[in-house]
């Protein structure tokens, strides 16, 4: 196995690494490790930690840049610095704003409800919905400008944004919100059938109900 990914089987950031491994033709396996278990070697208790080429790595964006540069002729990264900036801006936007908003605001309440049997935290979801709606509107307008996140085709930005939006789409309100965004929904539908994305589908994905 060329890449070992330590994290939960169903996790946004584990999936990002899996997709890039598939894109690069690297064999990979997930070693189930929960974020807060003593076995997790991430210095800040996040997942994933990745072993590749005799290196131990943490932080997904640098990890996938490395995998793509070292093993995929950087096919998922524009050469032109200005275009690379646009890709990196989307990666940073996804990491710093989209994932925290979706995860805390709506995904965790549904996960805790469905998998930990907790009452659904409706108040938390309702508080997050206006910001989620504004975020989707922003993404839809951005996508309308050039019809893509970058002018360089499918890049690491698409991998990060798609996987982050997948968690949102798995919730009832998130799914309905994305469906109202014509361009965003169409772009996700195309990504749904990309071989690297299909090869890494979660077992529960596409089933009725969230996650
Ligand atoms: N900055 C980290 C973020 C990874 C991250 O947030 N992973 C989530 C799971 S998808 C996590 O570790 N959650 C557990 C927690 O925050 O306690 C990276 O890029 O790898």
**Nearest Cα residue to atom 3 of ligand 1:** 46
Q: Which residues contact 35 (CB under 8 A, 6 or more apart)?
A: 7, 8, 42, 45, 46, 47
Residues in Cβ contact with 30 at an 8 Å cutoff, skipping those fewer than 6 apart = 5, 6, 7, 8, 9, 14, 18
The whole-number pLDDT of residue 146 equals 86
Residue ranges of domains in the chain, CATH in brackets: 3-71 (3.40.30.10), 81-194 (1.20.1050.10)
Q: What is the DSSP code (8-state) at residue 76?
A: T
What does the alpha-carbon distance between residue 31 and residue 22 come to, in Å, rounded to a whole number? 17
Rounded distance from Cα 146 to ligand 1 centre (Å)? 31
Whole-number pLDDT of residue 208: 47
Query: What stretches in the chain show pLDDT beneath 50?
Result: 208
The pLDDT of residue 112:
93
Measure the CA angle with vertex 149, ends 138 and 11; round to 5°.
85
Distance between Cα 48 and ligand 1 center (Å): 7
Instruction: Please tell me the distance from the alpha carbon of residue 4 to that of residue 31, in angstroms, as a whole number.
Output: 7
Cα 13 to ligand 1 centre (Å): 7
pLDDT of residue 71: 98
CB distance 102 to ligand 1 below 6 Å: no
Nearest to 99 by CA among 126, 78, 77, 128: 128
The pTM assigned to this predicted structure is 0.96
149-180 pLDDT, tens digit each: 999 999 999 999 999 999 999 999 999 999 99
Cis bond before residue 48 (omega within 30° of 0): yes
Q: Using a 6 Å cutoff on CB, does residue 93 contact ligand 1?
A: no
Condensed to tens digits (0 to 9), the pLDDT of residues 27-48 reads 999 999 999 999 999 999 999 9
């Amino acid at each position: 196995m060329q890449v070992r990914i330590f994290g939960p089987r169903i996790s946004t950031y584990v999936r990002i690494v899996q997709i890039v491994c598939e894109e690069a033709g690297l064999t990979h396996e997930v070693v189930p490790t929960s974020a807060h278990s003593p076995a997790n070697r991430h210095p800040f208790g996040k997942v994933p930690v990745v072993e590749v080429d005799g290196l131990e790595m943490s932080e997904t964006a640098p990890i996938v840049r490395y995998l793509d540069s070292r093993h995929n002729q950087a096919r998922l990264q524009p050469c032109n610095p200005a275009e690379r900036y646009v890709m990196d801006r989307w990666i940073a936007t996804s990491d710093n704003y989209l994932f925290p908003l979706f995860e805390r605001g709506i995904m965790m309440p549904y996960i805790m409800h469905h998998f930990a049997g907790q009452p659904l935290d409706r108040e938390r979801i309702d508080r997050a919905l206006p910001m989620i709606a504004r975020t989707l509107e922003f993404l839809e307008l951005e996508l309308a400008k050039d019809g893509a996140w970058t002018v360089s085709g499918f890049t690491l930005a698409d991998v990060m944004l798609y996987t982050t939006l997948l968690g949102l789409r798995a919730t009832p309100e998130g799914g309905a919100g994305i469906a109202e965004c014509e361009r965003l929904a169409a772009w996700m539908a195309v990504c749904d059938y990309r071989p690297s994305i299909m090869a890494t589908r979660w077992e529960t994905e596409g089933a009725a109900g969230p996650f």
